[in-house]
A and B are shown apart, each in its own frame.
Chain A
Amino acid sequence: MTVEGILLGFVFYLVLLAYIGWWANRYTGTEDQYFIGGRKVHVLAATLSDKASDFSGWLMLGYPGQAFKTGLGAFWAAIGCLFGTLADYVLIGPRLRIYAGKFRAITVPDYLEARLRDDTKLVRIIGAMIILVFMTAYVSAQFRAGGKALAQAFGVDVTTGILLTALILTAYVLTGGFFAVVWTDVVQALFMVSTLIVVPLVAVSALGGFGRAVDIMAKTAPTHLDPFGGAVGLAALVFAIGYASWIVGYFGQPHIVTRYMSVEDPRKLRRPGIFISGFWTIIVLWGAFFAGFLGFALAKAGIVHVSDPERIIPAMAMALMPSWLAGFIIAGILAAIMSTADSQLLVASSAVARDILHKVFGIELGKKQMVNVGRIVVVILSIIAIYYATIGNKLVYGMVATAWGGLAVGFGPILLLSLWWKRVTKEAGIVGMAYGLVSEVILESTVYGWEFNPKAPGIFGTIGAMLNGVPVFFVNFFITLAIIIVVSLLTKPPEDIVELHEKIFRKVPLEVARSRSQAENVAEFAKANGLL
């Protein structure tokens, strides 16, 4: 295994990213283009970018680490993520794109402010705060994951790995904005899926067959072959819910739902959108699960040596593959990390540049200057994220769960209800989002951490004992949902907003809905005449 060989695959990947950043830079002139690609991103790019942004270092390090430690039971997390992905397409994507186009919304707070007719700016301010707090935490989890992968591959310490990851990532978010992020995400989605097909196949081959892996586990850790990790009765149910709870988080992730706001046509999210995302998700989740599951057998057989279960994929690449292929695998891990962190940095920078400076303080800068302000914010947030990556939780799985949970509770309930219930009001939005922000920060940072446990003080300890192992955000999501419903029923939405909600989602016979729009005719004319 030579470092030069690993570097070869890795550098090839970086050169490809740099080229896409340069190409995309030509298309980044205005705020609309920088943050949501002019609302006209091809459905293939938007959906692959959606999944590449969704699945992060968690997929390549955190989740295989859990499969390594828990075995078969960890597959419940894959079930939660798969059905969360589908739920986004069924319940969020098309309706959010329709409203985003109607309101000319660029960010999630943009949409919420227009939908709830909030003239107090509170929805926008609270939304921006939720994004800033939890996105920065999320980006720091990605930097930590990058640090671990590079440490395993190149023998550097984790802090150096974190700095390298931050440097590469920030550089190309600065150059290209949304177009660069979307198109590099497409390349990264392909790297990720290739990595997660290759790694389990190599693992089975090294073990001498799947049966041997099962045999090793039956002898050394029988609970690894149990769907509930050895738990029975109510404990088994809590075990499964604990892992599958990722599903509710899907409704509130701004870096994911912004992709739906950017797609060229909401109807394309139904077909082919859900098929592209759905099948891609199935392949990567199976791959990541088997990488960790088989990695455990490899470690028990003494074929692979790993000190931290979250490093099992890079460790397998180093031990079982030729150096150039290991370089591509490391690039695949970095692809997962960077494709998420770049989208998150972009969303966080839009929260400051667009939501706070432009819309709240009314600072009117030129479009180019506004894009530059966004870039400065990316640099500042990256520096904060580096700090937390070096001092925070050592487990990527827990760091991601904390940030995922904050966004899930802060945005999930209000997004879901505002798209499907005409009665939701601005008062309910303000109260629900503020509760989500404050409760998640307190419960996750001081009371429990990311999952319920009996160690919390007083009554919290009793609740923690009952729900031991269930993520805090899963329960808090439903509490926030209930708060928003109750406050909405106690207040009254504007009549014209209710009418718009009823009108905008009307359905028409297929032959009318699928006819070509004027915009499509104009786009075709522009292309035919070399204007586009």
Chain B
Amino acid sequence: MATDIYIFLRLRDMWSLLIVPTLLAVVVMFVYGFWDRITGMEYYVDEDVLGYDEEMLKEG
């Protein structure tokens, strides 16, 4: 009985350590991933910033 309780407590610790940070990471992903939708703003990007290598377009 004492061994069962010990294992139950250890398993609870284990799944807490594994699952809580993982869920927190998923929350971070969604908040950052949709931050532009949440705020309605995004970085301004034009051809100058994209800076593609034109030679690649020719050779590709």
- Please report A residues at the B interface, Cβ cutoff 8 Å: 27, 29-30, 32-33, 38-40, 72, 75-76, 79, 82-83, 86, 89-90, 94, 98, 100-102, 104, 214-215, 218, 222, 225-227, 264-267, 270-272, 274-275, 278-279, 282, 286, 504-510, 512-514, 517-519, 522-523, 526, 531-532
Contacts and interface: CB of A to CB of B under 8 A. Distances in A.
A209 to B, nearest CB: 13
Contacts of A522: 57
A386 to B, nearest CB: 33
Given A83-B25, A214-B7, A40 B42 contact: no
Contacts of B48: 101-102
Contacts of A523: 52, 57
A278 B26 CA distance: 8
Given A38-B53, A265-B50, A271-B34, A513 B60 contact: no
Contacts of B41: 507-510, 513
B51 A104 contact: yes
Given A83-B25, A270-B32, A519-B50, 7 more contacts: A30-B53, A86-B32, A101-B48, A214-B14, A270-B33, A272-B33, A531-B57
Given A27-B59, A33-B56, A94 B18 contact: no
The 9 closest A-B pairs by CB, nearest first: A101-B51, A38-B56, A513-B42, A38-B53, A225-B10, A507-B41, A32-B53, A278-B29, A101-B49
A531 B60 CA distance: 8
Nearest to B6: A218
A94 B33 CA distance: 12
Contacts of A89: 32
A510 B32 contact: no
A510 B29 contact: no
A507 B39 CA distance: 10
Q: By CB atoms of chain A within 10 A, which of B28, B33, B51 has the most?
A: B51
B42 A275 contact: no
Contacts of B57: 522-523, 526, 531-532
A523 B58 CA distance: 11
A38 B52 contact: yes
A38 B50 CA distance: 10
Interface string B3-20: 100110011011011100
Contact of B43 (A40, A76, A98): A98
B36 to A, nearest CB: 6
Contacts of B55: 29-30, 32-33, 38
A514 B22 CA distance: 31
B1 interface: no
Contacts of B11: 214, 225
B60 A532 contact: yes
Nearest to B34: A271
Contact of A508 (B13, B32, B42): B42
Contact of B46 (A225, A278, A517): A517
A60 B56 CA distance: 36
A275 B50 contact: no
Nearest to B20: A79
A225 B18 contact: no
B29 A274 contact: yes
A54 B45 CA distance: 27
A514 B19 CA distance: 35
Q: By CB atoms of chain A within 10 A, which of B21, B22, B45, B49 has the most?
A: B45
Contact of B52 (A39, A272, A275, A508): A39
A172 B31 CA distance: 39
A86 B29 CA distance: 7
Nearest to A512: B44
A218 to B, nearest CB: 5
Contacts of A504: 49
A519 B52 contact: yes
A82 B22 contact: yes
Contacts of A86: 25, 28-29, 32
B44 A72 contact: no
Contact of A274 (B7, B33, B44, B58): B33
